[in-house]
Amino acid sequence: MNTLSKEQSASREKTLLVALLLSMWAPLTTGIAVLLSHSTTQLADFIRRSVELIALFVSWCVFRYLARNKELDLKRKVRMEKIAGITVAAALTCSGIVMLLLALSRLSTFEPGGNVYPGIAIAVLGLITNSWFWRRYSRLTCEQYSSIIDAQRQLYRAKAYVDLCVIAALTAVALNPTHPVTRYIDILGSVILSVYLLWSGFRTAQAAVLNSNKSCPILEDK
């Protein structure tokens, strides 16, 4: 496990905090957009953002604690980093499962219409923001590896791809809400999101376990 310098820790902690503060507004704004539309994809996106906020908070807390308690033994540090990685993986997986169940449950109750333009605007802003954080975390990971930061890189990569899918689905609803194909595009958008999030959750959990075993092999026997 690589040790970050004081400056590197401060830079990464600041990035995590900014990401957390910005993400606090996401569930609120997306929730308002859900009330203005009947989009399955929009509702699924609201659930995703809410669950991810919890993962971001845990990651920030763990990173902050480790940065301020450098005297901790290696075994405990590895365990805490693993917890942060598993939390991110759980958030991705939970979001994926909820999205999939929601899409399947609304196959027979889809009601097109509503104002999806606020949702499109929010998704576009989310794509810009999440792409920036994805690039930021990727650069920090290359500069000096940290399992917590790498988990955030994977999370924001997933968030950026999800935003792209949300934009495509909501745009289809906005252009022709009553067309028969729109129903399947909107629900298919939720299914695609769920599959990608489940895959990302699995990869993130796998990386967290492998990194912990490499850093502290004794954990494999626990």
pLDDT value of residue 221: 39
The answer to whether 171 and 120 are in contact (CB under 8 A) is yes
| Count of residues making up the chain | 222
| Among the listed residues 44, 170, 39, 168, the one whose alpha carbon sits nearest the alpha carbon of residue 109 | 39
Is 25 domain-assigned? yes
Looking at every residue in the chain, the average pLDDT score rounds to 81
- pLDDT surpassing 80 at residue 113: no
Quote the domain boundaries for residue 205. Answer: 6-107+114-214
In a domain, 219, yes or no: no
Q: What percent of the chain has pLDDT over 70?
A: 83
Q: Which residues contact 179 (CB under 8 A, 6 or more apart)?
A: none
Distances (CA, A) of 13 to 27, 54, 62, 146, 172: 22, 16, 10, 12, 39
Q: For 67-93, how does the pLDDT look when each residue is reduced to its tens digit (9 = 90+)?
A: 888 888 888 888 898 899 999 999 889
In a domain, 13, yes or no: yes
Q: How far apart are CA 189 and CA 193, in angstroms?
A: 6
Summarize pLDDT for 40-68 with one digit per residue, the tens. 666 777 877 788 888 899 999 999 999 88
Number of structural domains (the chain) is 1
CATH, residue 201 = 1.20.1510.10
- Is 221 a domain residue? no
106 versus 169: the higher-pLDDT residue is: 169
Would you state the pLDDT for residue 95?
80
User: Is residue 37 in a domain?
Assistant: yes
Write the pLDDT tens digit of every residue in 19-38.
999 888 877 777 777 777 66
Specify the pLDDT at position 103: 73
Tell me, yes or no, whether 220 lies in a domain: no
Note whether residue 1 is domain-resident.
no
Q: Which of 108-144 are b and which e, b meaning 16 or more Cβ less than 10 Å from the residue's Cβ?
A: eeeebebebebbbebbeebbebbbebbebbbebbeee
Centre a 10 Å sphere on the Cβ of residue 176 and count the other Cβ atoms it contains: 12
Q: What is the mean pLDDT of residues 131-152?
A: 92
